[in-house]
Structure 1
């Protein structure tokens, strides 16, 4: 599973970086778009802290973030997740935690990690739709596009 998670979390960091680059290039400061991207990144920090048994990070799941803040946050989240995956051998264990409204749950860490990347893809698609609706150019963050880029078949 480690090889799979390395691939998945490298993709996730790449996709977030592509979205941020598109927002910076087009000077997008739309509140809803930035809120969705902030939610993606905040969720990545929240889940990583839960899994690592750390106190909740100082992020808001639905906060008001600037584009400059998101650039730094996304880079940091991607790096921390990759460091975690690289330094961990077993992801097949149960985590008991309280969600953001303090309800208790137990889930397998592998499932949480798969969920987190799917969650990110879901919200990146919403961002793409909003970009198009507001007259901006959305960016392709499909996994197959990532695979084509890293195998040299497509220029990033």
Structure 2
């Protein structure tokens, strides 16, 4: 039986690699080129995705949400110089998530979130995993739009394309 929160995290990892691969094909200046969009540059968007992914990882591994949020603020402000640097930090964080997922026996376990912006909420670990994937999808869409504004095509990274990345014989 498919574990959909885990599957969505696999998609998140694949989609991040896919968009980073596309950006790597372009001139290195595209990362820091200013755009009138949701973020001033593609690098800012990537830093934001990473910071929020890290915040949720910290929450999943036992850090209280206000503390996790505070720890992720510097990551959100940290703009890296190259696509390779972004690829490396995303890959490292993906490995951390995979290790955490491997050690989870019950993703339906609930935890209490104390969101500094929205208040107290009881949520399942599986819901947090879905939030991570959903947040990444939203901002990869921003990046696709930013690429188009800069005169470049993006790349498809929809969940439905991810389905076809698994060879049929593995199903």
TM-score, L = length of structure 1 = 0.83
**Residue number in structure 2 paired with 1:33:** 42
Q: Which runs of 5+ in 2 are unaligned?
A: 33-39
Using a 3 Å threshold, how does the CA distance of structure 1 residues 5 and 108 change in structure 2: closer, same or farther?
closer
Matched position secondary structure for 2:111: strand
The residue that corresponds to 1:122 in the other structure is: 138
1:105 & 1:93 partners in 2: Cα distance?
A: 17
For residue 62 of structure 1, report the CA deviation from its aligned partner.
3.1
- Report the counterpart of residue 77 of structure 2 in structure 1: 63
**RMSD of aligned alpha carbons:** 2.4
Separation in 2, partners of 1:82, 1:8: 12
Q: Say which is worse superposed, 41-50 or 30-39, in terms of deviation.
A: 30-39
Instruction: Name the structure 2 match of 1:4.
Output: 4
| 8 Å Cα contact 2:50/2:76 also seen in 1 | no
- State whether residues 6 and 86 of structure 1, in contact with CA within 8 Å, keep that contact through their aligned partners in structure 2: no
User: Shift of residue 79 of structure 1?
Assistant: 1.4
Task: Verify: 1:148 aligned to 2:157, yes or no.
Answer: no
Structure label with greater radius of gyration: 2
TM-score relative to the length of structure 2: 0.77
- Do structure 1's residue 139 and structure 2's residue 155 form an aligned pair? yes
Residues 59 and 109 (structure 1), Cα distance of their counterparts in 2 relative to 1, 3 Å cut = same
Corresponding residue pairs, total? 152
Question: How far is the alpha carbon of 1:84 from its aligned partner?
Answer: 1.5
Closer, same or farther: CA 95–62 of 1 in aligned 2, 3 Å? same
